[in-house]
Structure 1
Amino acid sequence: MHRLSIPTPPTPLQKLQKLWDEIGESYNEIDKVLEVIEQECLAVYDKKIDETTKYKADLQGSLARAYDEIVSLTSSLGEQVTYSWKKEGSLKQQMSTVQPVLDDLRMKKVLRWEQISEILTQITDISSNIAGSDYHGRNGPDFDESDLTERKLDQLRARLQDLCKEKDDRLQKVNSYISAIRDMSETMSSDVSDALSNVHKSLTDFSMADAKSISDDTLAGLAKLTESLKNEKHQKLLKLQDLGRTMQDLWNRMETPMDERRRFKHITCLLPVQADDALRKGCLGLNIFREAEHEVEILNEKSSKMKELVLKRRCELEEVCRKGHMDVNSDAARQSLVDLIDSGSGDLSHILASIDSQIEKAKEEALTRKEILDKVDKWTNAKKEERWLDDYEKDEKRFTPVKGGHTHLKHAEDARRRISKIPAIIDGLTTKVKAWELERGVRFLYDKHPLLEMLEEDTNLRAQKEEEKRELRKQKRLQRSLASDKEA
């Protein structure tokens, strides 16, 4: 088979030569034209060379910037990227090698920045909440994008975790304060919504339940409000307890039946309660105070019966003092008390409380005096026996046989035994009394007389009597001696 030959199309120069031949242009004109065409072609080549040179420079610049950006991105991301740094092949081949690496690093930077930006936004929101600022930044604070490493990301996560924990702790404190405030307000039957709102509107706005303020100012405000309510609760509790004790005191003094007292059990049951104890709702409400105050007012109106009770207590005080041989000005004090009650200028409940206090003190003092008074009884009883023995020994008929005479003899022996113990009793009493007076800084009075003086006086009298007895015995011995000499 034979191939068909395709004729070659004439070149532009051939076409131009044909046209010149047909026109009949001279060789000089043709040379000039060819020279012009040559210059124009050179100019076109120079322009293209310049463009190509610039394109090459651009490629080199892009490649250099790509290398620099890769270095910057690997440093910023803290990653090691493996690719060929050998500048082999054409510029486009080198660019095709570098570009995928650069695109991958750029994508990693975008993803890393999105992670960091999200964490920064959360940090900003929580920090603003803690600081008490109403502004919540969406893009987070200023951040140096030159450090986008995993280490920096972990640091931010740790910072966010710390802030979340602090936020949870603060929120727990806020809720604890609010719970305590509401409990106290329910106990006192009061409304604290306005007070909470004044601390921060989010504390009472249910639409902001998930965005309660946790700032230092809010915590300080809640702490102050809590302390204020605690003080108010404490004062109200003390006042109601005082009313309750007054009622109980008046009931006891006026022997009020238990049925009437049970009506106020919700008040009297608060007497042993402490301010920090949990109290039931409404137990410190205004209506409870009015109820208690009304009952106390009614009880105070029954003061006529209390007058009798006051005098009865006064007699009880006098009896305690009498049994304890303590000083009490019975007649004058009772008359002064009657005058005070009749004048109406004295508070009977306070007077009765004062007398009760005096009775308690008198009983306490009587207990401290009991041991000494027991010894005084032994002393006085021994002195009675001594007087009886003196009278018995003066009786010249004591040895005459009579009915019951042996009983008197036995009584005399027992009396002598008791009398012999008087000096020891006095010494023991003196020691006890001195210790008692030293401890209390007052004199020990026995029926208004200083007991030490009584003991000293008795000791002196006893010594005097002993001296008189010795003199009498001496005279008797002398008389017997004279009589014997006379008889001899």
Structure 2
Amino acid sequence: MWDEIGESYNEIDNILEEIEQECLDVYDRKIAETIKYKAELQGSLAQADDEIVSLMSSLGEQVTYSRKEEDTLKQQISTVKPVLDELRMKKGLRWKQISEILTRITDISSNIAGNDDHGSNNGPEDFDESDLTETKLDQLRARLQDLCKEKDVRLQKVNSYISAIHDLSEAMAFDFSEALSHVHKSLTDSSMADTKSISDDTLAGLAELTESLKNEKLQKLLRVQDLGRTLQDLWNRMETPMDERRRFENISSLLSVQPDDALPKGCLGHDIFPEAEDEVKRLKKSSKMEELVLKRRCELEEVCREGHMDVNSDAARQSLVDLIDSGSGDLLHILASIDSQIEKAKEEALTRKEILDKVDKWKHAKKEEKWLDDYEKDENRFTAARGGHTHLKHAEEARNLISKIPAMIDGLTTKVKAWEHERGVRFLYDKHLLLEMLEEDSDLRAKKDEEKRQLRKQKRLQRSLAPDKEAEDGSKSAKKNPLGQS
């Protein structure tokens, strides 16, 4: 073709040199590409080896595979690639497992911590992937299991508090949902049933709310029971018919209820108090109540009279009548006060009974003594017409009883002093100090005994002087009549 074209030999040589140079350039480029490809294969192989080592370390597994140095690079890569793919697959599966567990741990931890924004906790993206071993997976599972148990315990507590608050709301008739919403909105939001707050703050809020409501329930129950007992007391005292009592059966039925017992729905609502309180006020101001107060006052006076205790009957009764007439006194309170006074008076009367029995015997002996004095002054006491035999027997018994009076006084004095020492008050008998009465009687008796001794002494002296006087009188008679003539 060059000949036909007519190229010169020089031109042809130049063209051949260019062709030769171009062939050399292609050859050099192919050599460079091959060298680069070889280097890439060597790099891939080294990188694969490093990744295998890293994956085995991360997964905590040892993998064996045979790679001969005399094999070509492609043969070596074909030997390594399945091993690397399998390790990568295992890492993917392991990471998926760990990621799911970490997500659940994050959610539960956030719920327990009370963080509504779960992003504030460390999630899977913050996890160090250099440790994906089975040991680490087991640790995370154990941690998740512990958190799940804690969550269950907390959820049980939350549900228990909610149940208790619901029961309290039923009894006291208040808005259950509104009360819970003040603690945490998730407790009443049905859309948040799976993420119900179980944080420390929520549990503390529920505990505080439950305790507050229980105290309120207790105070209301005590108030209702107090009203019920007051009504029962008033009804019983005034003998109110059962038909009238049935109107307040809802209150009467709560009298024996304990604070921890289940209560009927709405039994402690605010609307049950006004009507019962109005009924109590009406009964307290009734004329029948006034009669009861005065009657019980009379009973108090009678107990005091029987026990010879001090009671200012006239003044106290007039003061009570004035208080009733003024309408300013709480008659039930006054009645309870009088009942208390009656009980105390009866108790004191029991402590005084032994002494009073001895006082009665002492007074009886004193009456017998007076009878005996009057009897001995009666010159006709021995006549049959005056019942002499009977009176003689009576007189003998009286003398025997009177002889015991000093011992009675001594015994009474000892008893009274012991009674006064034990109670720190003086023993009054019909407004008089009993010890003074005994001392006065003892002194009077000693004085009378002394007078009797003096009288007996005088009589003995008179009897001793009587013979001398008779002898003297006889001597004088003989001088007047020496012959003994009469």
TM-score by length of 1: 0.84
Counterpart mapping for 1:438-477 below 5 A: 438-477=421-460
| 1:122 to partner: Cα distance | 1.0
Further displaced range: 180-189 or 209-218 = 209-218
Higher deviation after alignment, 268-277 or 400-409: 400-409
Between the aligned partners of 1:485 and 1:276, the Cα distance in structure 2 is 105
> Given residue 439 of structure 1, which amino acid in structure 2 is its aligned partner?
E
Aligned AA (1:220):
A
> Which stretch has the larger CA shift, 340-349 or 113-122?
340-349
**Residues 292-441 of structure 1 mapped to structure 2, 5 A cutoff:** 292-301=276-285, 303-395=286-378, 404-441=387-424
Letter in 2 for 1:325: H
**Please, which of 228, 248, 260 is the counterpart of residue 276 of structure 1?**
260
**1:278 to 1:60, Cα distance in 2 relative to 1, 3 A:** same
1: CA distance, partners of 2:168 / 2:153: 23
What is the match of residue 88 of structure 2?
Answer: 106
Is contact 1:123-1:140 (8 Å) kept? no
AA aligned to 1:209 is A
Amino acid corresponding to residue 98 of structure 1 in structure 2: V
Offset at residue 157 of structure 1 (A): 1.2
Give me the whole-angstrom Cα distance separating, in 2, the residues matched to 1:273 and 1:414: 65
Tell me the distance in 1 between the aligned counterparts of 2:165 and 2:282. 35
Distance 1:413 1:83, change over 3 A: farther
Q: 1:84 to 1:373 in 2, by over 3 A?
A: farther
Let me know the Cα RMSD of the aligned residues.
3.4
Q: Is the contact made by 1:187 and 1:282 (CA closer than 8 Å) also made in structure 2?
A: yes
Q: Does 1:90 align with 2:67?
A: no
Task: State how far apart, in whole Å, the 2-side matches of 1:102 and 1:186 are.
Answer: 66
**Structure 2 CA distance for partners of 1:351 and 1:416, relative to 1, 3 Å:** same
Shift of 1:369: 1.9
Aligned equivalent of 1:195: 179
Partner amino acid, structure 1, of 2:54: S
Q: Distance in 2 between matches of 1:140 and 1:116?
A: 8
Partner of 2:191: 207
CA distance in 2, matches of 1:338, 1:28: 160
Identity %: 83
Distance in 2, matches of 1:75 and 1:463, equals 122
Letter in 1 for 2:336: A
Cα distance, 1:289–1:343 mapped onto 2, change above 3 Å: closer
Distance across 2 between alignment mates of 1:204 and 1:299: 46
Q: TM-score, length-normalised on structure 2?
A: 0.84
Q: Does 1:291 align with 2:275?
A: yes
Q: Distance in 2 between matches of 1:253 and 1:177?
A: 44
Unpaired stretches in structure 1, ≥5 consecutive residues: 1-18
Query: Secondary structure in 2 aligned to 1:264?
Result: helix
After superposition, the Cα gap between the structure-2 partners of 1:381 and 1:74, relative to the gap in structure 1 and judged at 3 Å, is farther
The verdict on how the C-alpha distance between 1:64 and 1:432 changes in structure 2, with shifts beyond 3 A counting, is: farther
From the superposition, tell whether residues 458 and 26 of structure 1 become closer, same or farther in structure 2 (CA, over 3 Å): same
Does 100-109 or 353-362 show the bigger shift? Answer: 353-362
- CA distance in structure 1 between the aligned counterparts of 2:93 and 2:197, rounded to whole angstroms: 33
The 2-side partners of 1:70 and 1:466 are apart by 134
Q: 1:162 to 1:426 in 2, by over 3 A?
A: farther
Give 1:144's aligned residue: 128
Which amino acid letter does the alignment assign opposite residue 240 of structure 1? V
Which consecutive unaligned segments of at least 5 residues does structure 2 have?
472-486
Cα distance in 2 between the residues matched to 1:169 and 1:354: 54
CA distance in 1, matches of 2:83, 2:396: 133
Residues 418, 48 of structure 1: CA spacing in aligned structure 2 closer, same or farther, 3 A cutoff? farther
Matched, 1:134 2:87: no
In the other structure, the counterpart of 1:231 is: 215
2:55 corresponds to 1:68: no
The residue number in structure 2 matching 1:125 is 107
Give the conservation status (yes or no) of the 8 Å contact 2:380–2:386. Answer: no
Helix, strand or coil: the match of 2:132? coil
